[in-house]
Amino acid sequence: MGTDRVLILIIMVAGLFAASAAFLLGQAVPATEQEVQYQAAAVTEDGQGVLVPFSIAMRPGTGRILVDIQNAIYREDVEQSLRYARNAAGKIAGSSLASYDVEFAFGDREVGVGGGSAGMAFTAAMAAAFQGRKLNPLAVASATIQPDGTLGPVAGAGEKIFAAQQDGKTLFLLSIGQRVENEAELSKRIRIVRAATAAEAYPYLVQ
């Protein structure tokens, strides 16, 4: 084999290696390390629905979940919900997120944040951050997330929907089977949709 042919072969192999590496990297790292802003629906101690703003960023790391608790009161189910949400977000994104740190920071509302009811909101934010996409600012979700990605019912759905409607939101997502008091009246002012899984719900929430 001549020197020129050897050189061409080396270049071709190097090119294939570089292309493969780029493809793998594209599958393994977030599209951007952007910060995603979203809102979690909650209910205050006096029974009023509120929207609690939060931000999330995902960065290569060791799988830690880092939460700024300065402005929120966390319930016991938050950590579990965040871990379930990360698993579900990974399925949506088509990549394991176990090797990335999740950084959460909540806004200035000093209200109790229940991890269960914010499960779908957490999931959507993680998936969007990983994919470099933006969430629909006019859509809100309130549903628990299970290890297999299925969604479950929450308490105070009617109060949360009313708060979202008062804040100018146009869509509120719930789990299949979620019961809502006064749904017929509430649905006149805001679109109420239901989904069975996180993957089914995500398109409603992302732009």
Both 20 and 56 in a single domain? no
How many distinct structural domains can be found in the chain?
2
Can you count the helices (H) and strands (E) in the chain?
6, 11
Both 78 and 10 in a single domain? no
**Please, what is the Cα angle at 60 between 56 and 62, to 5 degrees?**
100
Both 64 and 125 in a single domain? yes
Which pLDDT score, from 0 to 100, does residue 28 have? 44
Look up the domain containing 150 and give its range.
32-205
Both 25 and 76 in a single domain? no
Which pLDDT score, from 0 to 100, does residue 39 have? 93
Which pLDDT score, from 0 to 100, does residue 69 have? 61
Which pLDDT score, from 0 to 100, does residue 107 have? 72
Both 19 and 77 in a single domain? no
End-to-end CA distance of the chain: 55
Which pLDDT score, from 0 to 100, does residue 72 have? 55
Which pLDDT score, from 0 to 100, does residue 45 have? 84
Both 13 and 77 in a single domain? no
CA dist 194 and 179 (Å) reads 11
Give the H or E element holding residue 18: helix 3-28
Both 91 and 5 in a single domain? no
Both 12 and 79 in a single domain? no
11-34 pLDDT, tens digit per residue, is 343 343 333 333 333 344 444 467
Walking along the chain (207 residues) 10 residues at a time, the average pLDDT comes out as 45 38 39 77 90 89 80 65 92 91 75 76 95 96 95 97 98 97 95 98 97
